[in-house]
């Protein structure tokens, strides 16, 4: 097999620290503390390496990436080496001075997450009083500075019925894109699935809402929307395929095929600096394990969609079927698909319960 094409994008998870405590956080349940974070110089040389090997975009993510005070240096480095830089943020730590400083150093785009459309519900689920108001203020700062804004609306059973209001909010804030981001059930969200999974009725209504809004808002707002896995018939090409489009670097500098890959037992992940990034990508054990189609079992192996969805998500296969090396149970051809349907039916029917909020232990410092 020839060498794989380089990744298009680097997901730089520069920290796991975050002032919010969302129970659907996509970070691993074992969070990296500040003392374990990779230092500035290593991030800067990683950005240089990424650009050199053909990466085009860098997504600064976390945790809350603005919790790091050297984010400006990273954005400036990205700009200097020709990487398109995107900030994925909760917005609650961003004031005008900080945002101006990031924009001046070359930041190209801001993706701002929202937990709801009104303060009470949004702040409750984020576990952070006043957060929603700060997000609204941040959105206005972004558009005031002329930066493009994407609203990332995290949707679940508790707020999916307000999707129309969320779309209206995105338009009002001057966003160009809205990601209707159904919670994905890994990490913390998996622990809270019974409180979060929408019902099939909610989902059908939401899909109709999105279709109507897309027609109404052509040329005004682009809406990204994907049916959540638990109600899908075919899996998503998770990360665009394992080791195909994205390289993810964790706060402590582990080079991962996806942000949840560390949940898969038996994979060894190399660290930034152990070997050149291009080599880790090309033949690192973790990247090779599920890259392409050679690893696939049936029904994937003989499926005509094997190079469309690449077998779906390895972490979801592990979470539902107990093995990472089988077809994603989101696929109706998977022998484990009924498990997913059964979970959806059971969890979406649960009326109440308490959230397990995301916490870093002694939190944040």
Partner 1 sequence: MSGRTVIGEGSRPRLPRGVRLKHDAARGQWVILAPERMFVLDDTAVEIMKAVDGEADVAAIVAGLAARFQAPRPVILADVVKLLQDFADKGVVRA
Our CB check for partner 1 shows the closer of 208 and 220 to be 220
Site membership for partner 1, residue 200 (CB under 8 A)? no
Per-residue binder mask for partner 1 (CB under 8 A), 267-306, x = binder:
----------------------------------------
Give the CA count within 13 Å in the CB-facing half-sphere of 300. 27
For the bound state, the minimum distance from the C-beta of residue 288 to partner 1, rounded and expressed in Å, comes to 20
Our CB check for partner 1 shows the closer of 152 and 192 to be 152
For the bound state, the minimum distance from the C-beta of residue 39 to partner 1, rounded and expressed in Å, comes to 27
Q: Enumerate residues 201-240 that contact partner 1 by CB under 8 A.
A: 218-220, 222
Per-residue binder mask for partner 1 (CB under 8 A), 309-328, x = binder:
--------------------
Task: Tell which one of 4, 8, 137, 227 touches partner 1 (CB under 8 A).
Answer: 8
Our CB check for partner 1 shows the closer of 190 and 278 to be 278
Our CB check for partner 1 shows the closer of 109 and 132 to be 109
* SS3 call for 58: strand
DSSP label at residue 27: S
Task: Tell which one of 90, 111, 248, 316 touches partner 1 (CB under 8 A).
Answer: 111
Task: Tell which one of 40, 45, 101, 176 touches partner 1 (CB under 8 A).
Answer: 176
For the chain, helix, strand, coil in percent to 5 are: 40, 15, 50
Our CB check for partner 1 shows the closer of 220 and 226 to be 220
Sheet holding 149-155, edge to edge: 222-225, 177-182, 149-155, 109-114, 84-89, 57-61, 9-13, 246-249, 255-256
For the bound state, the minimum distance from the C-beta of residue 265 to partner 1, rounded and expressed in Å, comes to 31
- The CA distance from 77 to 83, in Å, is 8
Centroid of chain to Cα 161 = 22
Site membership for partner 1, residue 6 (CB under 8 A)? yes
Q: Enumerate residues 133-152 that contact partner 1 by CB under 8 A.
A: 146-148, 150
Our CB check for partner 1 shows the closer of 197 and 223 to be 223
- The CA distance from 240 to 89, in Å, is 22
Q: Which one of 128-136, 171-179, 280-288, 289-297 is the stretch in contact with partner 1 (CB under 8 A)? A: 171-179
Q: Which one of 48-56, 122-130, 262-270, 320-328 is the stretch in contact with partner 1 (CB under 8 A)? A: 48-56
Closest CA to 126 of 318, 362, 293, 359: 359
Task: Tell which one of 95, 120, 165, 172 touches partner 1 (CB under 8 A).
Answer: 172
Q: Enumerate residues 64-83 that contact partner 1 by CB under 8 A.
A: 82
Contacts of 219 (CB under 8 A, 6+ apart): none
What tokens appear for 245 in the block? 């489009």
What tokens appear for 255 in the block? 């080079």
For the bound state, the minimum distance from the C-beta of residue 176 to partner 1, rounded and expressed in Å, comes to 4
- The CA distance from 17 to 365, in Å, is 8
- The CA distance from 281 to 154, in Å, is 31
Q: Is 361 left (phi over 0), alpha (psi -120 to 50) or beta?
A: left
Task: Tell which one of 56, 93, 194, 339 touches partner 1 (CB under 8 A).
Answer: 56
Site membership for partner 1, residue 93 (CB under 8 A)? no
Our CB check for partner 1 shows the closer of 230 and 246 to be 246
Closest CA to 103 of 89, 90, 85: 85
- The CA distance from 261 to 51, in Å, is 23
Tokens 């190399």 correspond to: 270
- The CA distance from 92 to 123, in Å, is 11
Q: Give the helix/strand (H/E) hosting 338.
A: helix 337-347
Question: Binding residues for partner 1, how many (CB under 8 A)?
Answer: 27
Site residues (vs partner 1, CB under 8 A): 5-6, 8, 53-54, 56-57, 59, 82, 84, 86, 108-109, 111, 146-148, 150, 171-172, 174, 176-177, 218-220, 222
């Amino acid at each position: 097999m020839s060498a794989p094409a380089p990744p298009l994008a680097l997901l730089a998870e520069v920290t796991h620290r975050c002032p919010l405590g969302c129970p659907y956080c996509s970070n691993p349940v074992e969070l990296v503390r500040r003392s374990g974070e990779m230092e500035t110089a290593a991030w800067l040389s990683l950005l240089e390496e990424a650009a050199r090997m053909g990466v085009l975009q860098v997504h600064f993510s976390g945790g809350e990436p603005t919790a790091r005070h050297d984010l400006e240096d990273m954005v400036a480095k990205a700009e200097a080496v020709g990487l398109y830089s995107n900030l994925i943020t909760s917005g609650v730590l961003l004031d005008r001075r900080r945002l101006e400083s990031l924009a001046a150093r070359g930041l190209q785009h801001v993706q701002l997450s929202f937990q709801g459309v009104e303060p009470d519900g949004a702040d409750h689920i984020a576990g952070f009083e006043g957060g929603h108001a700060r997000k609204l203020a941040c959105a206005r700062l972004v558009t005031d500075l002329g930066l493009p804004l994407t609203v990332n609306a995290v949707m679940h059973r508790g707020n999916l019925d307000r999707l129309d209001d969320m779309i209206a909010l995105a338009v009002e804030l001057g966003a160009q894109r809205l990601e209707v981001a159904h919670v994905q059930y890994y990490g913390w969200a998996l622990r809270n699935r019974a409180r979060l999974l929408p019902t099939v009725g909610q989902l059908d209504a939401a899909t109709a809402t999105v279709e109507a809004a897309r027609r109404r808002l052509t040329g005004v707002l682009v809406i990204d929307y994907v049916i959540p896995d638990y109600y899908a018939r075919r899996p998503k090409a998770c990360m665009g395929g394992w080791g195909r489009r994205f390289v993810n670097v964790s706060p402590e500098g582990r080079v991962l095929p996806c942000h949840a890959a560390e949940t898969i037992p038996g994979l060894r992940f190399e660290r930034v600096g152990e070997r050149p990034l291009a080599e880790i990508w090309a033949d690192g054990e973790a990247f090779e394990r599920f890259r392409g189609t050679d690893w696939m079992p049936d029904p994937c192996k003989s499926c005509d969609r094997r190079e469309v969805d690449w077998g779906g998500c390895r972490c979801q296969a592990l979470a539902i079927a107990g093995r990472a090396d089988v077809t994603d149970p989101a696929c109706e051809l998977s022998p484990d698909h009924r498990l997913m349907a059964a979970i959806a039916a059971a969890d979406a029917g649960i009326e109440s319960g308490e959230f397990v909020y995301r916490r870093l232990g002694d939190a944040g410092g």
